[in-house]
Amino acid sequence: MDKLNFMGEFKDSALEDSFQRDKWPSVRFRLLFLYLVTIVAYIACGYSHYGDLGPGAEFHTILLGSLSACLLGSFAFILLWADKVSRRVQYFCMSLCMFSVMAAESLELLVKFSDIGSLSVPVTVFIVLAYYILLPPRIIMPFIASVCGSVLYLSVLATVLPVQSSSFLNSACYLVLANIFGAFFLYTFGRSLRREYAAMEDLKKLVAVDELTGVCSRRRVLEAGDCIFKSALRFNNKLSVLMMDIDHFKKVNDDHGHCVGDEVLKETASRCSDVLREVDHFGRLGGEEFLVILPHSGVHDGIKVAERLRSCVRERMFKVGESYLPVSVSIGVAELRGHGDFKSLIQEADEQLYRAKKCGRDLVCPASLKIVRQVQSNEVSVK
């Protein structure tokens, strides 16, 4: 299903906002360039108008329009350079600048028509196309500003000046075509950028999320663990990791089929995710093996979390068709204590997982203590 609406934007507002944030640095650079060119051009035009008209009323009229466009462009440039206001405000200022440029061109046409005549039309068309090409990939605001500016220009040409109907129609055709092609470019360019962005986001999800269980992928959880490990070393924070494995999972696949095995994996991941905190990282390393990273948690905290995970999997049977299947997990716990890298911390947790398997499964084994077994529903003892 197409993720884009009829305007070429994402139907999902959150995804559209994420896209706009991602593209903002390049959009900001283009707008800064556009404002700078506008400011420089109207300063130069002011000198040119003075040479053509001299210091009279006509020059002052054109100068007023040029200064208005120049000052508005300068204000928008400063706002954009500081980058302290929202993108919505920036887009509004951009549209306002676009309209002010068209208004300044209309004023120049009104004053200097006897000198420039229809020669001003190609310049105005160029301005319209330049704004469309350099604008951000949003179509409504620039389109409204450009159309309003074009209507203002054509109104001056049709109602105030003694222009022939054929010249007016030619000018109108030029501006209509400029807006059509500009809007079409902005629409198609925006759709292409969004489809590329959506494809990249889908690819990132494939890399970052395990497709079957919906938890972090092996690559993502290991990358996160490595960053958290380095941060814990630097700031002397506690860190624990859990290695969890579903008991007798091969037998589940052999007896009930891989489809049932997949359901067991998904349900196990879902139950464990509900137990963990938002700051914890939970990922599937492969097969039936999972890794849990517990920032700011010592070994005793790790044991408590591991027991909650073990209980939440064990306490309710897994429904398989019309029957119910008992599932349990074994968990190894390791705490950061003089480990050289994250890999060695995982290896220690893996050794405790192997120990829990060897001692009968459905157990939690911490690295610095002996086996922790749940004796009763709410009682944990250390043997």
Domain ranges for the chain? 13-207, 218-382
Q: What is the pLDDT of residues 244-276, one digit of tens each?
A: 999 999 999 998 899 999 999 999 999 999 999
The larger pLDDT score, comparing residue 353 to residue 62, is at: 353
User: Which residue carries 């028509």 as its tokens?
Assistant: 113
Rg of the chain, C-alpha, whole Å: 33
Nearest-5° angle of CA 186, CA 74, CA 150?
A: 45
Using pLDDT thresholds of 50, 70 and 90, give the confidence band for residue 114: low
Query: What distance in Å separates the CA atoms of residue 383 and residue 377, rounded to the nearest whole number?
Result: 17
The end-to-end CA distance of the chain, in Å, is 57
Q: Looking at this protein, which amino acid is placed at residue 59?
A: F
Helix pair angle (13-53, 120-134), 10° resolution: 150
Helix pair angle (87-116, 13-53), 10° resolution: 30
Residue 1 CB: number of other CB atoms within 10 A? 3
Q: Poorest-confidence range of 138-142, 166-170, 352-356?
A: 166-170
Q: What is the average pLDDT value for the chain, to the nearest integer?
A: 85
Portion of the chain with pLDDT greater than 90, in percent: 41
Closest by CA to 146, choosing from 75, 97, 73, 77, is: 97
Residue 173 parent element (H or E): helix 165-208
86 exposure class (CB count in 10 Å sphere: 0-12, 13-18, 19+): exposed
Query: What distance in Å separates the CA atoms of residue 27 and residue 102, rounded to the nearest whole number?
Result: 22
User: Which CATH superfamily groups domain 218-382?
Assistant: Reverse transcriptase/Diguanylate cyclase domain (3.30.70.270)
Return the pLDDT at 149.
86
Return the pLDDT at 375.
37
Task: Tell me whether strands 289-295 and 239-246 are parallel, antiparallel or unpaired.
Answer: antiparallel
